[in-house]
A and B are shown apart, each in its own frame.
Chain A
């Protein structure tokens, strides 16, 4: 019996070594491919690297100058506002419609599974094709204005007008976001046992009371996760605007993602682009922390 703890220890050491052998390759890959660039990005945002000093290697540290210049730039302020409006409006619509669809498709009926799967195609197809499609649907001779003309409304030039371009982009993004929200919320809804509803129905609870006092509280963490994940994916948008509007007209659909790209790869002001990317990252990080806390808490349970 005396050597049992020792034996157990060696078994657990072997276990640990095996575990690391499976995990570490992926972990090291991420450290090299993601960790290093993030650190590099931070460093870049405090330098003045651009196309002139890139080849010469004469870039130098400039402290918070990039941040000061960008944060006080009216163009950046417009773009930041666009990003917020885009994210908030998309979240409200895709979440509420997604929730309604989730409630409907979590019922058990013959066509529930297949139709639910089909709706996801919009979410899984390349965002750049969604952008292409959006360009066509919202063009002057497109689907939207044709439908509007049928009910006697003369539609605007959606993608040329600075007041309507962002609306068109938001509608296309919601088309992608709704099935995504539906998918996440369905998995939360199916976790609720039907017996709870049955017993409360016997007690005379109405459908609305069931929804308000049972579904919503039980779905709390699922709803929070969906909203936070939705925020993260929407706030960092790039592909849709890049293809559909290129951020135009007059930056009216530019968001942090497209602006950072434009600074780095159209104007070759690498440090400025990195600075915008860091600002974008900080916004995501704040919301991401709440999401992580929620997930880690659930993992412990």
Chain B
């Protein structure tokens, strides 16, 4: 990429005075324009969340806060019900992640490394499960969880959410494990490692980038979930932020600045993860869906 270094130029000399540089500049400008349009709804949400009540209810619609106010954020963050929902969102994310990692990573390794009988049947099961609509599992799971006294516990939603996150983990990680040379695994075995030890000390570190993808995506699966959480957590104080949106909307009425601060707080983890980890995630996300 750094062709300007090879030619002994500064970046700006390269951008403005060479043919490739000008093309790069033109594409860059177009990309920024696309990003501004594509991300405008997120900007819209953020700017609304920093408006004073007065400006929110004003007749004129403004495109940035003229009176910058953090009060909408504070109103959320100082609310006990909000904080407990926030905690529930984290619990939902972490439990989903835990179940997915514990079951999904070994299965992906088994599918990528071993030629076991019925491999295609397993793969088919994982692929089909990933496609199922939540509606199909909702009613029977509700009735089963009711019998098992799991309704209204922190475990019910993650158990259901992980059923889609595990197949995704297996399908995404399998090509990663496949690409690790078998000799690496065998060398560890010769050195006296058991299958399990070699899995943890050799194979898992070798597919680190794939695992980061799964950690992030499975956490977000739990964090983003709406339908399982609101159905299985009948009590509002057990519900995560997503499932309590209506409750807070009723409380805030048309105070859109507070509602948008609520939404912004839900989006922040997504933004943070993408800014820091996008390099890993973007490649990992498509690995299983379409052949590269």
Interface segment, B42-50, B67-75, B76-84?
B42-50
A22 touches B133 (CB 8 A): no
* Interface residue A88 (Cβ < 8 Å from any Cβ of B): no
* Interface residue A157 (Cβ < 8 Å from any Cβ of B): no
**Interface residue total, chain B, C-beta cutoff 8 A:** 92
A280 touches B166 (CB 8 A): no
A15 nearest in chain B by CB position? B114
Supplied contacts A109-B27, A238-B133, 13 more A-B pairs, CB within 8 Å: A20-B110, A26-B104, A29-B162, A33-B162, A34-B132, A36-B144, A44-B140, A109-B24, A120-B282, A122-B42, A242-B226, A281-B132, A295-B291
* Interface residue B30 (Cβ < 8 Å from any Cβ of A): yes
Q: Which of B122, B127, B139, B263 contacts A270 (CB 8 A)?
A: B139
* Interface residue A164 (Cβ < 8 Å from any Cβ of B): no
Task: List, in ascending order, chain B residues with CB within 8 A of A113's CB.
Answer: 278-279, 282
Interface segment, A68-76, A179-187, A197-205?
A179-187
* Interface residue A87 (Cβ < 8 Å from any Cβ of B): no
Task: List, in ascending order, chain B residues with CB within 8 A of A104's CB.
Answer: 27, 30-31, 34
* Interface residue A218 (Cβ < 8 Å from any Cβ of B): no
**In the complex, what distance in Å separates the CA atom of A277 from the CA atom of B136?**
5
**In the complex, what distance in Å separates the CA atom of A71 from the CA atom of B126?**
31
Q: Which of B27, B162, B266 has the most CB of A within 10 A?
A: B27
* Interface residue B52 (Cβ < 8 Å from any Cβ of A): no
**In the complex, what distance in Å separates the CA atom of A285 from the CA atom of B104?**
24
**In the complex, what distance in Å separates the CA atom of A270 from the CA atom of B220?**
30
Q: List 9 A-B contacts (CB under 8 A).
A: A104-B27, A111-B31, A125-B266, A132-B245, A191-B291, A238-B227, A257-B134, A270-B143, A295-B291
B277 nearest in chain A by CB position? A117
Interface segment, A2-10, A206-214, A259-267?
A259-267
**In the complex, what distance in Å separates the CA atom of A167 from the CA atom of B192?**
63
B27 touches A111 (CB 8 A): yes
Could you list which residues of chain A lie within 8 angstroms of chain B, going by C-beta atoms? 15-16, 18-23, 25-27, 29-30, 33-34, 36-38, 40-41, 44, 101, 104-105, 107-122, 124-129, 132-133, 136-137, 141, 143, 146, 175, 178-179, 183-184, 186-188, 190-191, 221-222, 225-226, 229, 232, 236, 238-239, 242-243, 256-257, 260-261, 264-265, 270, 273-274, 276-278, 280-281, 284, 288, 291-292, 295-296, 298-299
**In the complex, what distance in Å separates the CA atom of A33 from the CA atom of B32?**
45
Task: List, in ascending order, chain B residues with CB within 8 A of A115's CB.
Answer: 31-32, 34-35
A126 touches B139 (CB 8 A): no
